[in-house]
């Protein structure tokens, strides 16, 4: 667990005070704190206010904390971010190939990057699922190897398990269509 959110709620008459703070669990550094005061007459509005402030502050606090966190391979991270950015555009054969190349560069610079392994495996499976490859078996084999390495290094990664599921499903059905995508005759 990298970060810890802790806090307290105090009540005095009809007034409520909520205190919250974000702590970096690795360094015990205090990253952010917030206090919200409200009236007990509308607890739902107070809950919404606290939730909104926490969500906004946590998003900003976590991004700021991660931005100053040292990265041993900044160039690899650059390739990962560029590859992820290509995923924001509609898929095409060229765009998926570009994404794969970017993640490959990231892995070349940092062969231990679990994120690059997962993202590359997902891009390879996506290329197979999208019918944008001439080498489905090779793409699936490479994706399976990458995801196996990622899960060995980070067994609790939900995203890695998701991609492993995509690999397994595609491996099970091969080039046959998925059962729920068959056309029904009328």
Give the pLDDT confidence of 85-114 residue by residue, as tens digits.
Answer: 988 888 899 999 999 999 999 999 999 999
- Count of CB atoms within 10 A of residue 164's CB? 20
125, 163 Cβ separation under 8 angstroms: yes
Asked if 127 and 99 touch (Cβ cutoff 8 Å), the reply is no
| Token pair in block for residue 36 | 């919200």
Please check the confidence at residue 115 and state whether its pLDDT lies above 90: yes
| Cα–Cα separations (whole angstroms), residue 7 to 10, 40, 186 | 10, 18, 61
Percentage of residues in the chain having pLDDT higher than 90: 39
Residue 179: the pLDDT is 47
- Give the pLDDT of residue 116: 95
List the beta strands (DSSP E) in 13-160. Answer: 15-24, 29-39
Q: What pLDDT score was predicted for residue 171?
A: 60
Confidence bin at 44 (pLDDT 50/70/90): confident
Instruction: State how far the Cα of 186 lies from the Cα of 182, in Å rounded to an integer.
Output: 13
**pLDDT of 178:** 45
Q: Is the pLDDT of residue 180 over 60?
A: no
């Amino acid at each position: 667990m990298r970060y810890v959110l802790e806090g307290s709620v105090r009540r005095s008459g009809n007034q409520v005070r909520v205190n919250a703070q974000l702590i970096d669990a690795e360094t015990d550094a205090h990253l952010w704190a917030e206090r919200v005061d409200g009236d007990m007459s509308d607890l739902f509005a107070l809950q919404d206010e606290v939730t909104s402030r926490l969500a906004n502050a946590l998003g900003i606090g976590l991004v700021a904390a991660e931005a100053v966190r040292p990265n041993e391979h900044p160039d690899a991270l650059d390739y990962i971010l560029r590859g992820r950015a290509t995923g924001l555009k509609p898929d095409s054969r060229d765009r998926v190939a570009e994404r794969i190349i970017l993640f490959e560069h990231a892995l070349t610079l940092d062969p231990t990057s679990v994120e690059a392994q997962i993202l590359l495996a997902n891009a390879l499976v996506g290329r197979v699922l999208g019918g944008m490859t001439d080498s489905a078996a090779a793409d699936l084999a490479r994706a399976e190897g990458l995801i196996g390495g990622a899960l060995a290094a980070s067994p609790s990664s939900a995203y890695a398990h998701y991609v492993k599921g995509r690999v397994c499903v595609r491996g099970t059905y091969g080039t046959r269509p998925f059962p729920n995508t068959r056309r029904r005759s009328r």
